[in-house]
A = this chain, B = another copy of it.
Amino acid sequence: MEAFEAFASAACRYTTVRVRTQLPTDFVDITDRVQALVNGSGLGAGLVNVQSLHTTVAIVVNENEPLLLTDFATFLERTSPAQADYRHDDLSVRTVNLTADERINGHAHCRALVLPSSACLNIVDGRLRLGRWQRVFLVELDGPREREISIMLMGESGR
């Protein structure tokens, strides 16, 4: 196990990243953007936490193979069908958190329930530590929309 010197030059760095999604269910590969933030941070070791700021957006780590992403969409539709009945969408009885442009999205919330809302990833040797096939995705569950994620990097400077 490698040990870094005391946190003499350690730091927190953070930013908000905007992502435009294109589909109702969309997997947007944000790996390169996260990697660029790690590179630009000057951190040699630590953690980067990629956090959704929405209740119908998840952050997952999986493989970026286009057919697999259609399998994921099929899987999510099977677990929480878009056309099923959700009490959240019954605007005749609901009284809480209503907006002028309320969306019919109970299915999207249920899908979000079983997907991670953030990914906490290791930084090693100044780079995002990922396996060969691992990519970081923003998962849009109720799009298309403009979305935001919060990224926090914390650790030890230098390599």
Contacts and interface: CB of A to CB of B under 8 A. Distances in A.
B9 A6 contact: yes
B2 A47 contact: no
A1 B32 CA distance: 16
A51 B3 contact: no
Nearest to A157: B6
| Interface core residue of A64, A86, A112, A115 (most chain B CB under 10 Å) | A86
Interface string A1-19: 1111111111111110000
A37 interface: yes
Interface in A111-154: 112-124, 129-131, 133-134, 148, 150-152, 154
Interface in A1-60: 1-15, 37, 40-41, 45-47, 49, 51-55, 60
8 contacts: A7-B7, A10-B10, A52-B131, A65-B88, A65-B94, A70-B87, A114-B114, A154-B155
